[in-house]
């Protein structure tokens, strides 16, 4: 079993975050399942882990608010010990075309997706550096690699997450801490379920594998990057997108 024992997954109640929680628990980690407002779903994730013989707690915090993140880390430390695996998964969209996008829509997406990742990274880093061990995986998006019309706010936040990942990876590389990003393509979750059939059909044309991804596809990549086997991988962006963004 891995030496890394305590994982914190932001937005772990549903979608990709839930699949990540389950995968890390299967790998032997105790898991703190963070949520912002979906307490029942987070409790469901924790119950699934407990039922499989693992150990989980749920912890509320809006990751865009630093003081709430501080309280969350203090609680997780008290209940599970120092965090040695952090998965920054919490994310939102507020899509709009540029002329209609409000400054509030821009700021709220940057606040959760980018500042939220920074807050948790900062709070996890001290303990990881001290213990000279840690795994951080930030969930970016292919939108942060290639952009997406109607998502200037979201794509900017995810490009920011990628730069955050590389800079943190350089900062902590000599301290036994790896920092990587996973960039999902189109994954079937609450985030993508509102998209209409016409948009889905159009997107499918750009996916060489010819299918949308499942949360478990992303979770498998995250679990690998959090494992002992990935000790020599840092500062990387792994696209899990059915081939959508492969280079030409």
Which residues are identified as catalytic?
Answer: 154
Q: How far is the CB of 227 from ligand NAP (least distance, A)?
A: 20
Task: Write the burial class of residue 92 (CB in 10 Å: 0-12 exposed, 13-18 middle, 19+ buried).
Answer: middle
Written as one string, the DSSP assignment of 144-168 is: HHH--TT-HHHHHHHHHHHHHHHHH
- If binding is defined by CB under 6 A, does position 177 make contact with ligand NAP? no
**Options 4, 7, 8, 14; binder of ligand NAP; rule CB under 6 A:** 14
- If binding is defined by CB under 6 A, does position 96 make contact with ligand NAP? no
Q: How far is the CB of 36 from ligand NAP (least distance, A)?
A: 4
Q: Which is nearer to ligand NAP, 13 or 242 (CB)?
A: 13
Measured CA to CA in angstroms, residue 85 lies from 115, 153, 157, 177, 240 at distances of 19, 28, 22, 10, 20
Q: Pull the structure tokens for residue 193.
A: 């379920």
What gap in Å lies between CA 59 and CA 62, rounded to an integer? 10
Residue 193-232 contact track with ligand NAP, rule CB under 6 A, x = bound: ----------------------------------------
What gap in Å lies between CA 156 and CA 144, rounded to an integer? 6
What gap in Å lies between CA 16 and CA 12, rounded to an integer? 8
- If binding is defined by CB under 6 A, does position 160 make contact with ligand NAP? no
- If binding is defined by CB under 6 A, does position 91 make contact with ligand NAP? yes
Task: Write the burial class of residue 206 (CB in 10 Å: 0-12 exposed, 13-18 middle, 19+ buried).
Answer: middle
Q: Which is nearer to ligand NAP, 209 or 228 (CB)?
A: 209
CA neighbor of 86 nearest in space, from 15, 153, 168:
168
Q: How far is the CB of 189 from ligand NAP (least distance, A)?
A: 3
Q: How far is the CB of 18 from ligand NAP (least distance, A)?
A: 7
CA neighbor of 108 nearest in space, from 172, 75, 64:
64
- If binding is defined by CB under 6 A, does position 152 make contact with ligand NAP? no
- If binding is defined by CB under 6 A, does position 181 make contact with ligand NAP? no
Contacts to ligand NAP by CB under 6 A: 10-11, 13-17, 34-38, 41, 62-64, 89-92, 112, 139, 141, 184, 186-187, 189-192
């Amino acid at each position: 079993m891995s030496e890394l024992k305590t994982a914190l997954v932001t937005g772990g109640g549903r979608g990709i975050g839930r699949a990540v929680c389950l995968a890390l628990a299967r790998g032997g980690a105790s898991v703190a399942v963070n949520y912002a407002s979906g307490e029942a779903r987070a409790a469901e994730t924790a119950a699934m882990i407990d039922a499989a013989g693992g150990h989980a707690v749920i912890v509320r915090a809006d990751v865009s608010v630093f003081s709430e993140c501080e309280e969350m880390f203090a609680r997780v430390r008290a209940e599970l010990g120092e965090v040695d695996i952090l998965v920054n998964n919490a994310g939102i969209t507020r899509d709009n075309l540029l002329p209609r996008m409000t400054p509030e829509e821009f700021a709220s997406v940057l606040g959760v997706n980018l500042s939220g990742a920074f807050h948790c990274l900062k709070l996890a880093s001290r303990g990881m550096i001290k213990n000279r061990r840690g795994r951080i995986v930030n969930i970016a998006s292919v939108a942060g690699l290639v952009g997406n019309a109607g998502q200037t706010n979201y794509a900017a936040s995810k490009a920011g997450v990628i730069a955050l990942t590389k800079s943190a990876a350089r900062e902590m590389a000599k301290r036994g801490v790896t920092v990587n990003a996973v960039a999902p393509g189109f994954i079937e979750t609450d985030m993508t379920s509102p998209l209409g059939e016409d948009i889905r059909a159009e997107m499918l044309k750009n996916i060489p594998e010819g299918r949308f991804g499942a949360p478990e596809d992303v979770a498998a990549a995250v679990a690998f990057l959090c494992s002992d086997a990935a000790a020599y991988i840092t500062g990387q962006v792994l696209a899990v997108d059915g081939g959508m963004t492969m280079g030409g």
